[in-house]
């Protein structure tokens, strides 16, 4: 129901008598000059909306996606699995990841193939680009699953079964890396042809009983490197070579 005319409302209380013609004229004048009520509209925009909104000439650009805002250290294994293209493996596992600055992650991945009875160990970098996070593969190794008989042979001291080696090519930071399954090996030593040692990391049982080792090599690496799997007493239990050429 619409409100009655304001002149009629004024004739009711608290006034004792009807307003005079002069009073009515002054009231109308004051109302025309500034008595109108300002209407304020309130807008609610859900935080989840990321589409571009244009209102009264103002452009509100969508926020960058969560993936674009993330620092490298915040990328989870699920994030990395989504970024790294699959090779139709039955299962995939992140063996190890190491953040390098805010825009790069070193990643070792295991892709498992049930029908082939082997694994594919991939090594590379996930790095930030203008388009988002991208995968740059540097190397991969096909690793056969060890049999119970082979494992028993290693426990008895047989060598040559429990260590693999490979080379990850990269212009900035090449790597030597591989797998260790010999139960006696607790560290890996990597040396070049001149006897210079490259510091190696040993990630024990990165996947079940399979351990990961890797060593940073000089950017100008060339020739061959000797890889030795060493037990607690310092005895060499396994050995292999890495060829960078």
3-class SS letters over 145-211: CCCHHHHHHHHCCCCCCCECCEEECCCCCCEEEEEECCCCCCEEEEEECCCCEECEEEEEEEECCEE
Q: What is the pLDDT of residue 57?
A: 34
Q: What integer is the mean pLDDT of 122-133?
A: 92
In terms of Cα–Cα distance, which of 145, 163, 153, 142 is closest to 229?
Answer: 163
Q: What is the pLDDT of residue 114?
A: 77
Q: Domain residues of the chain, as ranges? A: 71-243
Of 79 and 16, the structure prediction assigns the larger pLDDT to 79
Residue 24 clears pLDDT 80, i.e. is over it: no
Cα angle: 160, vertex 164, 169; to 5 degrees? 150
The CA distances from residue 5 to 2, 10, 39, 44, 198, in Å, are 9, 9, 20, 35, 94
Of 161 and 162, the structure prediction assigns the larger pLDDT to 162
Residue 61 clears pLDDT 50, i.e. is over it: no
pLDDT band at 113; cut points 50, 70, 90: confident
Residue 160 clears pLDDT 70, i.e. is over it: yes
Residue 233 clears pLDDT 90, i.e. is over it: yes
Residue 205 clears pLDDT 80, i.e. is over it: yes
Average pLDDT, the chain: 78
pLDDT band at 21; cut points 50, 70, 90: low
Q: What integer is the mean pLDDT of 213-229?
A: 92
Count CB neighbours of 175 within 10 A.
Answer: 23
pLDDT band at 221; cut points 50, 70, 90: confident
Residue 131 clears pLDDT 80, i.e. is over it: yes
Tokens of 25: 């004229």
Residue 68 clears pLDDT 80, i.e. is over it: no
Radius of gyration of the chain (CA): 36
């Amino acid at each position: 129901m619409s409100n009655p005319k304001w002149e009629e409302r004024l004739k009711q209380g608290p006034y004792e008598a009807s307003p005079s013609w002069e009073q009515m004229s002054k009231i109308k004048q004051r109302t025309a000059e500034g008595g109108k009520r300002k209407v304020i509209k309130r807008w609610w925009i859900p935080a989840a909306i990321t589409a571009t909104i244009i209102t009264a000439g103002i452009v509100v650009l969508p926020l960058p996606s969560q993936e674009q805002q993330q620092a490298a250290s915040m990328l989870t294994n699920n994030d990395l699995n989504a970024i790294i293209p699959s090779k139709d493996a039955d299962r995939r596992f992140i063996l190890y990841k190491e953040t390098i600055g805010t825009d790069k992650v070193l990643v070792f991945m295991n892709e498992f193939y049930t029908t082939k009875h082997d694994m594919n160990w991939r090594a590379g970098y996930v790095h930030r680009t203008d388009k988002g996070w991208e995968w740059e593969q540097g190397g991969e190794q096909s690793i056969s699953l060890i049999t119970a008989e082979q494992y028993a042979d290693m426990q008895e001291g047989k060598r040559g079964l429990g260590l693999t080696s490979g080379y990850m090519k990269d212009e900035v930071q090449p790597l030597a890396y591989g797998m260790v399954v010999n139960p006696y090996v607790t560290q890996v030593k990597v040396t070049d042809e001149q006897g210079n040692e490259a510091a190696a990391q040993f990630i024990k049982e990165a996947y079940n009983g399979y351990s990961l080792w890797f060593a940073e090599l000089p950017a100008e690496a060339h020739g061959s490197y000797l890889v030795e799997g060493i037990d607690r007493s310092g005895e060499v239990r396994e050995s292999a070579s890495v060829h960078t050429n």
